[in-house]
């Protein structure tokens, strides 16, 4: 659905239906983003509630220059940063092994993929924040460069540079830890 189609559809809904639809469409996304920041599922769920309360209270400030998705991403990231500041979180906490278990056909492939995924994820989470954030949004949330630019309030060239440098840094760190890529 295009941003225009989304706006038209949302305009036809009552206020209550509109917010129910926002939560249905973007609730899981908000939880995933929040979890990547705080590494605590209960806290991530609290952030989801806070984000949608902020959306409700600030809907009048939505100017329609971007999609609702981008607007909610921005609110989510800002709120996560506020939570982290308040709780003195300086770095991500690593994923728990059971959260990283991919599902594949054979036990051998499960072990190989798990090891690689765990290594990449742990290494990504230890990168400097400016690289970690854009790499996460690009590869895990599958946002486009322009969307990352809107969400992070960086220009597109800066996003591209951080992606390139972040990938190089990630590759170098993985090679250092694992001896190969």
What CATH number is associated with residue 142? 1.10.10.10
Q: Sign of the CA dihedral 32, 35, 40, 42?
A: negative
pLDDT tops 60 at residue 108: no
Average the pLDDT over 168-180 and give the result. 81
Per-residue confidence (pLDDT) for residue 141, from 0 to 100: 82
> What's the CATH number where 63 sits?
1.10.1740.10
Residue 79 has pLDDT above 70, yes or no: yes
The more confident residue out of 116 and 100 is 116
Output the CA torsion sign for 97, 163, 81, 152.
negative
In a domain? residue 92: no
In 3D space, the residue among 102, 141, 135, 142 whose CA is nearest the CA of residue 118 turns out to be 102
Angle, vertex CA 146, rays to CA 3 and CA 24, nearest 5: 45
63 and 113, same structural domain?
Answer: no
Closest listed residue to residue 38, CA positions, set 103, 75, 90? 90
Q: Which of 134, 125, 114 is nearest to 91 (CA)?
A: 125
> Are 83 and 101 within one domain?
no
pLDDT category of residue 106 using cuts at 50, 70 and 90: low
pLDDT-based confidence at 161, cuts 50/70/90?
very high
**Model pTM score:** 0.57
Helix and strand numbers, DSSP H then E, in the chain: 8, 0
Q: How many domains does the chain have?
A: 2
Measured in Å, how far apart are the chain's first and last C-alpha atoms? 38
What digits encode the pLDDT tens for the residues 41-52?
999 999 999 999
- Expressed as residue numbers, the domain containing 150 is 97-178
């Amino acid at each position: 659905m295009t941003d225009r189609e989304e706006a038209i559809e949302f305009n036809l809904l009552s206020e209550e239906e509109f917010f129910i639809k926002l939560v249905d469409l973007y609730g899981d996304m908000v939880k995933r983003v929040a979890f990547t920041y705080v590494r605590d599922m209960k806290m991530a769920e609290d952030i989801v509630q806070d984000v949608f309360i902020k959306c409700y209270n600030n809907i009048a400030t939505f100017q329609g220059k971007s999609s609702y998705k981008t607007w909610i991403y921005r609110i989510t990231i800002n709120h996560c940063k506020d939570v982290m500041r308040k709780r003195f979180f300086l770095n991500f906490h690593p994923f728990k092994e059971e959260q990283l278990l991919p599902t594949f056909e054979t036990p051998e492939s499960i072990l190989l993929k798990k090891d690689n995924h765990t290594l990449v994820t742990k290494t990504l989470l230890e990168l400097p924040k400016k690289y970690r954030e854009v790499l996460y949004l690009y590869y895990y949330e599958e946002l486009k460069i322009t969307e990352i630019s809107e969400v992070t309030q960086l220009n597109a060239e800066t996003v591209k540079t951080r992606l390139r440098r972040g990938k190089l840094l990630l590759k170098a760190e993985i090679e250092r830890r694992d001896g190969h890529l």
